[in-house]
Amino acid sequence: MIVRNGIRSNLRSKGRTALFAGMILVLTLGMILALGVRSYCDSALAQFDKAYRSIAVLEYMGAEYPSIDEPDPAARAASAAIDDSALSAVPGVTAWYRDCHTLSRVEGFQRRGIDMPYKDRGVIVVTHIVPVYPAQLGIMGQPDYYTGLLTRSLYSYTEKENILITILYDDLPEDLEKDGFYVLHGTFVEGDEEGIHNGLACFKALPFSDDPGTEPCYRLGEGEEPPEIFSRYADHFRTINNYVHTVVCGDLEDLWEFHQGVVYPREGRMPEGPDECIVSGGLAESMDLSVGMTLELTDFDSEEDDRYEITLTDRHRTVTVTGITNSYEDYYGYIWQQKEQTPATLFGYRIGIAELENSQAVDAAAALEEMMPANVRVTLLDQGYTEAVEPFLSLQSTSTNVLLLCAAGTAAVLVLFARLFVGRQNDTVRILVSLGTPRRKIALWLLSGALVIAGGAAVLGGLLGILGLPAVYAAIRSRIAAGSEILRFSETLVTTMKKVDVPVRTPLWPILLTIGAIILFAFLLCFLFLGVAYRGGTLRQGRSRVRVPSGRTSTFGSGAFRYAVLSLRRGGRRALLVVAVCAVLTVMLILLGGVYRGWEIQLQDALSGTELEGQVTSLDGRDFSGLILPIHTIQELLMQEDVSDVYVSIRDVYWMPEDLPGIVREERRNDWIDAQAEFVCTNDLKGTKEFYFTEPEIQWTEGWDASCLSDDSYATIYGPLLYLEKDKIAGPYPAVVSDAFLESHGLTPGCGFSCMIRGGGVLQDEISVPLIAAGVYHQTGSKAHMYLPLAAFVPPDVIFGETPQESSSYWFRNGRNTEENYRAFIYDYYMMETCRFTLVSAAHLEQTRDNLDRAGFGWPGHVGQRRTTLILRDASFVKLTENLGRYLSMGRVMLGLIFGIVALLGFIISWLLVSGRKQEFAVMRGLGVKKGRLFLSFFWEQALLCLAGCAIGCIAMTRFYAGGALQWLVLGAFAVCYMAGCALSVILIGKMNLMELLSAQE
């Protein structure tokens, strides 16, 4: 009966019950939804963490990049400078694997195609050797070459026999026996290159490299086997040419090729133990391998300066094939083993791979970059993890804050609720006491009524939340799906992008726990306020406490303002409460507004102060040198209004005349030249691959500086322009050379010298180029590249100036050898090898992406109409702006919520304060106070108290107050919200019937 009456009496006070039940319901619903969204995000992030793998690839971006076989001392020095333990200790780094790539021999493997060090070499047996003399000399002179019948191949790549071949060997014995059998050691060459055009395969005899005294030609006696040296060389060629690449890593999934999905297990599984391996599809096909078979491996040792200068060791092992990858040409003969690495000599530029914790990958990669030696690039490859988790992280932080805010709001509302529904039930207590109701039953009456309302509202809010969560999840998924637009042209795309579906699995227990917590908290508060209700509703031996304001009669002010001032001065705890609440909320809002403004300023600074760079790359975005980039593409890039500076380079080899070997027997001259260092023509060193990742430190000699590279007053070295460009300087050309180059050639900075280059275009002459050592850089790579003005290779105005009116075909058609036509020819046929550019501003990055997209440029994963891929080096910028954007959107939600709560608080506080003064209202109205004055009397009081609280809050926050319009706006909005609540409550009370008001109880 007691419980029933307690519940009924509360339920029947409809307005108050509805107000508080509504607020508890809404806040519970808010908490449940926030909790659900947070759980959803947690679940999604956990699944992303499992599905994605982040690695940082450490590469040496020196002059030799991107050769994977170059014995680059600078790369090795950089690799040696990396401290394994320090790197492993970087937060977020879970494992660190150095490049461990060696060569091995596998019994039965027959390599095919390219990448064979002795592909052209051969040891063959020939008979019927016939000399062929020059036509004009007849048989009187030295034979031009010989022809013979290849009858046996001890070793040759094609293993062809019984074919007629051309033989080049100056020292063949003069007493050649026509039917004799000769074994020859040498190499197959292109006959056309040697000036022999008989259509036969051409074999050039070569001396043995480790025994030059032994003739490479030996006549075999009847039934005689070739001498040991011939067989040894044949075996050597066969063994070396059929090497396999063996890659060892502690976790094969971390290797670039597996991580990026270039290769993947087509059959079987990844190896798990040290005696297991996975082999490439090409190797499996070549050897007819299947999963479960075993391989006999023997290690090769490479020479320090040549990966393919190898010797067979006695280190044998047997491994079981657990998996076979897809067939991919670049990984033709590969074996991967997952086991502890042993130190291996570094060739190429790939130093190693760090496995990263997904959630800390970006910071870890940044930390790694900080500690890397110069020229070491750290590329974060996260399979799209950062992009995928971004909206979830944003939602997670927002939902957490909403949850906290709703929890705080619920706590505040429950305190008010307990005070009103229990603490102020003095009359009820008085009546119940007068009826002789036991104290515990009075408690039961009050608690049951209050708890049914609070609990009911919380349960209903929880149920609505549970029912609404699926819709919220669906909305999140669709929003995230709609918002997951690829960042076009971003360097973050230089990774395989995974798509992971996130199933919804939200546990119910946190929701039930939340509802339980609300009910328990309501119970505790109501229980605490029981004492208050009891004290106020019972007589205590005639003792009573009367609160009396302090002060004397005042004559200050007039009208409504006077009453407001008197009331606020004498308002006691009530006034203090308003001031304190407003001050606290002001502090909170200033903090939030200040932080929000700070984010805005940071974002503005980032947008206006960031100079973004971009570059033309290979289709996958990985390589940015060795490109074939037509000039019209560069011009199209220049035409983009967002692009400010463009740096290009073009290169070819050079050689110093004195370095050229006098007698070229073992290596062809072209091969030697091909292997020489490069001279690079560029308009800025930033445009060369060597200085993409490091600032060039050039010691300029007097009178020279970096502007000489972009100086267009130099004539091109090549072709007719030498005489067409009469007004241009034809040398000496300023060159930036390496310190090692100067030292090795006995040169000094500022001195003049000449180098040889190959003539390009139509004329294939070799050209001597007069140079002056204008600048010196410290050489780190193995080759002494030198850097010349772009004008030495191509007139800069052809690239950066106007497009030629006529096509170069006009030149060919008409044979008009004019400068204009030659420029058209350059425009059509010259290709740049690198291209780097800067953006005017990062402020309109989206627009820039749009413009580049419209212009037909592509990005990794998307081939544009121009088939030219660009990437913007925007990873850190995007990360920063995304973070700030996330904070700002969260801030907007928070500000919105806080304003809502503040407005609600303002209303409730004002309502409670004003409705507690109905008697004053009644008296004043009874005295005939005008409505306007009545309104202002109360409104002024509340407004002044609110403003006083705001002022105190502002003063308290002076040190943290960053100024700016936003804070004022926030404070103004808060004050307006509060006073609107106040005004509404005063108006509502003012509308009550005066007869009712006069008889109303406080």
Partner 1 sequence: MSVFELKDVRYVYQSKYQTVEAIRGISCAFDAGILYAVMGTSGSGKTTLLSLMAGMDIPTEGEVLCGGVSTSEMDLERYRREKIAMIYQDFRLLPLLTVAENVMYPMELRGMKTAEAKKKALELLEKVGLPDSAADRFPAMLSGGEQQRVAIARALGMDTKVLLADEPTGNLDTENSEKIFRILADLAHSDGYCVVIVTHDPALGEAADRTLHLRDGRLLEN
Query: For binding to partner 1 (CB under 8 A), which residues are involved?
Result: 546-549, 551-555, 558-559, 562-563, 566-567, 570-571, 919-920, 922-931, 933, 993-995, 998
Q: How many residues does the chain have?
A: 1002
The two structure tokens encoding residue 104: 């091995």
492 backbone dihedrals φ, ψ, rounded to 5°: -65, -10
- Residue 933: CB minimum distance to partner 1, A: 8
Q: Is the dihedral of CA 525, 419, 440, 22 positive or negative?
A: negative
H/E stretch holding 630 reads strand 629-630
- Residue 560: CB minimum distance to partner 1, A: 10
- Residue 532: CB minimum distance to partner 1, A: 20
User: d(Cα 362, Cα 380) in Å, to the nearest integer?
Assistant: 7
Strands (E), 206-349: 217-220, 243-249, 265-268, 276-279, 294-303, 306-325, 334-338
For 7, 94, 222, 650, the CA distances from 60, given in Å and listed in that order, are: 77, 22, 58, 21
Give the list of residues 6+ apart from residue 753 with CB closer than 8 angstroms, or none.
656, 745, 747, 771, 772, 773
The residue among 540, 308, 307, 275 whose CA lies nearest residue 433 is 540
**895: Cα within 13 Å, side-chain hemisphere:** 22
Decide: helix, strand or coil at residue 197.
coil
Q: What is the rounded radius of gyration, in angstroms, for the C-alpha atoms of the chain?
A: 43
The residue among 695, 61, 738, 694 whose CA lies nearest residue 348 is 61
User: d(Cα 323, Cα 293) in Å, to the nearest integer?
Assistant: 10
Q: Between residues 496 and 915, which has the closer beta carbon with respect to partner 1?
A: 915
Q: Between residues 13 and 608, which has the closer beta carbon with respect to partner 1?
A: 13
Residue that the structure tokens 């050597």 belong to: 236
The residue among 555, 462, 464, 556 whose CA lies nearest residue 510 is 462
Q: Between residues 534 and 921, which has the closer beta carbon with respect to partner 1?
A: 921
Q: Between residues 318 and 558, which has the closer beta carbon with respect to partner 1?
A: 558
- Residue 16: CB minimum distance to partner 1, A: 19
- Residue 570: CB minimum distance to partner 1, A: 4
147 backbone dihedrals φ, ψ, rounded to 5°: -120, 155
Q: Between residues 545 and 959, which has the closer beta carbon with respect to partner 1?
A: 545
- Residue 605: CB minimum distance to partner 1, A: 52
Decide: helix, strand or coil at residue 275.
coil
Number of neighbouring beta carbons within 10 Å of residue 537: 19
Q: Between residues 431 and 994, which has the closer beta carbon with respect to partner 1?
A: 994
**Cα torsion for 178, 183, 186, 190, to the nearest 10°?**
40
Strands (E), 286-372: 294-303, 306-325, 334-338, 350-356
- In 419-487, where does DSSP find H-type helix? 426-434, 439-483
The two structure tokens encoding residue 223: 């039934």
The two structure tokens encoding residue 625: 């040198």
- Residue 546: CB minimum distance to partner 1, A: 5
CA 342 to chain centre: 31
Q: Between residues 139 and 927, which has the closer beta carbon with respect to partner 1?
A: 927
User: d(Cα 199, Cα 184) in Å, to the nearest integer?
Assistant: 20
- Residue 584: CB minimum distance to partner 1, A: 25
Contact 682, 833 (CB under 8 A): no
Q: Between residues 499 and 545, which has the closer beta carbon with respect to partner 1?
A: 545
The two structure tokens encoding residue 243: 């090497």
- Residue 39: CB minimum distance to partner 1, A: 47
Helix axes 439-483, 14-51, angle to 10 degrees: 40
- Residue 398: CB minimum distance to partner 1, A: 45
- Residue 929: CB minimum distance to partner 1, A: 6
Q: Is the dihedral of CA 362, 367, 369, 370 positive or negative?
A: positive
- Residue 931: CB minimum distance to partner 1, A: 7
Decide: helix, strand or coil at residue 859.
strand
Q: Between residues 541 and 553, which has the closer beta carbon with respect to partner 1?
A: 553
- Residue 989: CB minimum distance to partner 1, A: 16
Q: Between residues 227 and 926, which has the closer beta carbon with respect to partner 1?
A: 926
- Residue 400: CB minimum distance to partner 1, A: 44
Q: Between residues 480 and 924, which has the closer beta carbon with respect to partner 1?
A: 924
- Residue 939: CB minimum distance to partner 1, A: 16
- Amino acid identity for residue 261 in this structure: G
Give the list of residues 6+ apart from residue 707 with CB closer than 8 angstroms, or none.
none
Contact 867, 945 (CB under 8 A): no
- Residue 572: CB minimum distance to partner 1, A: 9
User: d(Cα 342, Cα 274) in Å, to the nearest integer?
Assistant: 12
Which phi-psi region, left, alpha or beta, contains residue 906 (left: φ > 0; alpha: ψ -120 to 50)?
A: alpha
713 backbone dihedrals φ, ψ, rounded to 5°: -85, 0
Q: Between residues 321 and 564, which has the closer beta carbon with respect to partner 1?
A: 564
Q: Between residues 419 and 925, which has the closer beta carbon with respect to partner 1?
A: 925
Q: Between residues 236 and 569, which has the closer beta carbon with respect to partner 1?
A: 569
Q: Between residues 35 and 560, which has the closer beta carbon with respect to partner 1?
A: 560
Q: Between residues 561 and 899, which has the closer beta carbon with respect to partner 1?
A: 561
For 112, 255, 593, the CA distances from 158, given in Å and listed in that order, are: 10, 34, 77
- Residue 8: CB minimum distance to partner 1, A: 17
Q: Between residues 536 and 900, which has the closer beta carbon with respect to partner 1?
A: 536
- Residue 994: CB minimum distance to partner 1, A: 5
H/E stretch holding 287 reads helix 281-287
Q: Between residues 746 and 928, which has the closer beta carbon with respect to partner 1?
A: 928
DSSP string, 403-419: HHHHHHHHHHHHHHHHI
